[in-house]
Structure formats: C-alpha cells, structure tokens
Amino acid sequence: MAKKINELMKNLLLTRLFIRELKKERRKIFLTVAGIAWGTLTIILLLSFGQGLATQMLRGQKGLGNNIVILYGGQTSIEYRGLPQGRPVQFFEEDVELLENSIPEIDNIAGEYDAWGAVYKYGDKVVNERCRGVSSVGYEDMRSHFPQAGGRFINENDIKYRRRVVFIGWGLKKDLIGDEDAIGKMVFINNIPFTVIGVMQKKMQMGMYGGPDENVGVIPSSTYKGIFSRNRLSRIIYQVNDIDKSEFVNQQVQRVLARKKQFDPDDNNALHYWDVIKNTKMTRQAFTGITIFLGVIGAMTLIIASVGVANIMYVTVKKRTCEIGIKRAIGAKKATIKIQFIIEALLINLSGGFIGASIAYGIIKAVQSIPQEGADFGKNMAMQILANPEFSWTVAISTGTILGIVGLLSGYFPAKRAAAVDPITALHYE
C-alpha cells in the first residue's frame, strides 16, 4: 500500500514539474504553435480555394456544353479532283442526318441557325438580340439549356409542326418581360408573334460564341427557316458517347463530310472544330498541376514550422538538463522522461494544427455563406469562381497525420537524448 502511495506521489510531482516547465516555456511554445497553425491554415486554404477554383472553372465550361464538339465550315485550301481551292464548306440539315446515321459514336447532334439583331418586342419594350433555330431536342442537354420550373424546351412536335414557340435566356427575359412570369406570354420576334414556353435556368458559362446564352432566344429550326428565309446552318454541334473517343469521332466527321462535300480529307482548313471535351481535359490537367504546386508550397510551410518544434525541443533538453537530473534522482524512469518530451512535441504540433484547421474551416464557411442567389453571372463572374472554396476533410486529416508524425519524431530524439543523461552529471550541469 505504501509503495503504491509513494508511486502516486511521485507521478503527481512529475506531473506538476511537467506543467510548470510548460508554463516557463509558454512564449516559445506560443510562437511555435502559431507557426504550426499558420502552416496548417496556409495549406488548407490554398488547396481548398484551388479545388474550388478548378470545380467552378469546369462548371463554367459545362455551361457552354456537356461533352460536345462545335463544328464550323471553313474553306478548302487544297485542290481536289479538279475542283479549285478556296471553296467554302457549308452545312445543311441533311448533313446533320448524314453524320448521325454514319457515326454511331455520336450520341446527340443538332444543326444550329443563328440570326443577329432580331427584334424582340413585348408590350412597349423592344430588345435587339440573337435568335437561334435548332433542329433537335437533344440540343437541350448538349448546350445546357435547361428550363426553369414550369417551363420546357423545344420538343419534336414544335419542330414538326413549325410552331411559333420560343425558349428564352434569363437575361433576355429580364430585359424584355421584367419580373413577370414569362411562361405563356406572347412576344414578337421581327413582328411575328411567339409564345414563350420556357426560360433558361441561370448557369455559369466560361466559353461562348457570339455572347452568353442568357441573352438568346431559341426557336424550332423549321420555324426559323420560314421567318428568316435561310436554309444554311451556322454550325453543327454533336455530343460523343465516350469522351475518350472525341478525336476519333472528329476524324470520322472529317472523312464523312469530305466525301459528301468533295474536299481532300487531309485539308485541315475545310472544317474547324471547337473540341470542348479536349479543352476540359486540358483544364483538368492544368488544375491538377496547380493543386500539386499549392500543396507543395503549403507542405514546405508546414515542414519549416515543424522543424522549429524540433529545434525548440533540443534547446529545451539542454536548458532543462538539471531538472532532468532531479527527476531521475527522485526515481523517474527513462521511459517517463521520453514520454514527457514526446507528449510536449505532440501537444505543440497537434494544438497548432487544430487551431489552424479551425480557422481555415471558419474562413471557408464564411466565404461560402456570401449570398450568390440572384447574382448576375456575367458581371460577377470573379465572385462566382472564387467564392466557392471546398473544405477537404482528406486534406485536413492528412495534415493532422503529418503533424502527428512530425511531432512524434521531433519529440522522440530529444527525449532519447534527455533520458540518456546521467543523473549525477545532470545535477552538476550549469
């Protein structure tokens, strides 16, 4: 019984000495904890904002289209079978049908007509904007033209029966109709009445041709040809069923149209491809590199702070050699000395990591809480991109694990040195 009481008193004494020594070193400990916290804060914020930026950029690219290629007609630059160079390559709706039937890897395809400066009128309000005619209902998914609640996109019957219906972007709706419910309203396009069947959902759009989709009205291609007396397509848009085959599909398109339009299949000026799939892959690769770069910067900051912990522990051992001797003299075991220094190092590292992670989490949540509902996607594009950092628990846990390992190592070696000090020599240390 007496032995157990003596052991308990000894442990209490050692604990009091441990706490007293931590208080004596509180200034150094505070500075080291602050350094660890700053390193943790830096790495989490860098990677969170980097990941958020990548996500928003990819989201913005999807605003242009989902796994699509936009095809434009060019001009031949090579003589072919007696035909001169310099011939324009033009598209018609039968070309869309030909490509759809010839290339099974094409999931959706649509021809697109484009008219600039169409006159939209509602009541006393008049707006000049673009008007597009589309030849397929698959256009909705390809170009991310999704309707707001209560509306719809153009369907097959609209195209078949040449209905005078229009699907409008939210910007055009705001300028033309204001805050009224647009569905079912009658608007005039070039003095011809059209019924509004849908309003586009707001979306972020990084890529565009001729301006953002928010300011465009879309009507059936059959109706478009009757109004604007035009049967030549402005472009063809197609969606592939496997993004890894986009290059192959483009080659097949070149081959099929070269045979139909009578130009050399190797003539790179005859057709022009805007391969959104390829651009998306390049963006992903670029942001992977950026994320790695930011991670390295943050990790270096963290390592420098952790090295500071190791240095402090070595200095602490030297300054407290006499105290270590006292502890050994009153019966403290080598393992007790080791555990003390290891615990000190772990507490410093993990405390700094927890504080840094908590501050980073608070900053990220504060930025995410910035209201964006109803924001103008065109005028506030920077806010849309930067105001969406993504807190990663994987990064936070990985950082905590690294700090734990560094803390263990930075405490173990000074602890091993401290435990090896001879008690008599330590008591006489100045």
Task: Please tell me the predicted confidence (pLDDT) of residue 391.
Answer: 79
Q: Is the pLDDT of residue 406 over 90?
A: no
Task: Please tell me the predicted confidence (pLDDT) of residue 324.
Answer: 65
DSSP 391-421: --HHHHHHHHHHHHHHHHHHHHHHHHHHHTS
Inter-CA distances, 333 with 46, 70, 336, 421, Å = 44, 76, 5, 12
What is the average per-residue pLDDT within 229-245? 90
CB 102, CB 252: distance < 8 Å = yes
What is the average per-residue pLDDT within 90-119? 93
What is the average per-residue pLDDT within 83-107? 94
Model pLDDT for residues 153-193, shown as the tens digit of each residue: 999 999 999 999 999 999 999 999 999 999 999 999 999 99
Task: Please tell me the predicted confidence (pLDDT) of residue 158.
Answer: 95
Burial of 344 (0-12, 13-18, 19+ CB in 10 A): buried
- More confidently predicted of 264 and 312: 264
CB 37, CB 309: distance < 8 Å = no
Return all residues near 368 (Cβ < 8 A) that are at least 6 apart.
Answer: 387, 388, 389
CB 110, CB 142: distance < 8 Å = yes
Lowest-confidence range among 124-138, 241-255, 341-355, 375-389? Answer: 375-389
CB 214, CB 64: distance < 8 Å = no
Q: Is the pLDDT of residue 99 over 90?
A: yes
Indicate the pLDDT class of residue 218, thresholds 50, 70 and 90. very high
What is the average per-residue pLDDT within 67-79? 93
Lowest-confidence range among 149-153, 233-237, 288-292? Answer: 288-292
Alpha helices in 114-233 (DSSP H): 139-142, 156-160, 170-176, 221-228
pTM, two decimal places = 0.71
Lowest-confidence range among 65-69, 175-179, 214-218, 412-416? Answer: 412-416
Task: Please tell me the predicted confidence (pLDDT) of residue 153.
Answer: 96
Highest-scoring range by mean pLDDT, 229-238, 286-295, 369-378 = 229-238
Q: What percent of the chain has pLDDT over 90?
A: 40
What is the chain's mean pLDDT, rounded?
81
Highest-scoring range by mean pLDDT, 7-16, 135-144, 380-389 = 135-144
- Phi first, then psi, for residue 182 (nearest 5°) are -85, -25
Other Cβ atoms within 10 Å of 38 Cβ, number: 18
- More confidently predicted of 423 and 147: 147
Which pair of structure tokens corresponds to residue 103? Answer: 């290339």
What is the average per-residue pLDDT within 35-58? 79
